[in-house]
Chain A
Amino acid sequence: SQKIEQNSEALNIQEGKTATLTCNYTNYSPAYLQWYRQDPGRGPVFLLLIRENEKEKRKERLKVTFDTTLKQSLFHITASQPADSATYLCALASYNFNKFYFGSGTKLNVKP
Chain B
Amino acid sequence: KAGVTQTPRYLIKTRGQQVTLSCSPISGHRSVSWYQQTPGQGLQFLFEYFSETQRNKGNFPGRFSGRQFSNSRSEMNVSTLELGDSALYLCASSSYSGHYNEQFFGPGTRLTVL
List chain A positions with a Cβ less than 8 A from chain B: 1, 31-32, 34, 41-46, 49, 89, 91, 93, 97-98, 100-105
CB distance from B94 to the nearest CB of A (A): 9
Residue of A32, A42, A100 near B56 (CB, 8 A) is A100
User: Would you call A102 and B99 a contact (CB within 8 A)?
Assistant: no
Which residues of chain A have C-beta atoms less than 8 A from B42's C-beta? Answer: 102-105
Q: Is the CB of A44 within 8 A of B99?
A: no
Cβ contacts B53-96/A at 8 Å (1 or 0 each) = 00111110000000000000000000000000000001010000
Residue pair B56, A49 in contact (C-beta under 8 Å): no
**Pick the contact of B108 from A34, A43, A98, A101 — CB < 8 Å?**
A43
> Which residues of chain A are within 8 angstroms of B43 by Cβ–Cβ distance?
44, 89, 91, 102, 105
Please, how many angstroms separate the alpha-carbon atoms of A34 and B100 in the complex?
Answer: 9
- In the bound complex, residues from chain B placing their C-beta under 8 Å from that of A98 are 55-57
Asked if B92 and A32 sit within 8 Å, CB to CB, the answer is: no
CB<8 Å pairs between A and B, sample of 22: A1-B59, A34-B99, A42-B108, A43-B92, A43-B105, A43-B106, A44-B92, A44-B105, A49-B100, A89-B43, A91-B43, A93-B98, A97-B56, A97-B97, A97-B98, A97-B99, A97-B100, A100-B45, A100-B58, A100-B99, A102-B45, A105-B43
B112 interface contact, C-beta 8 A = no
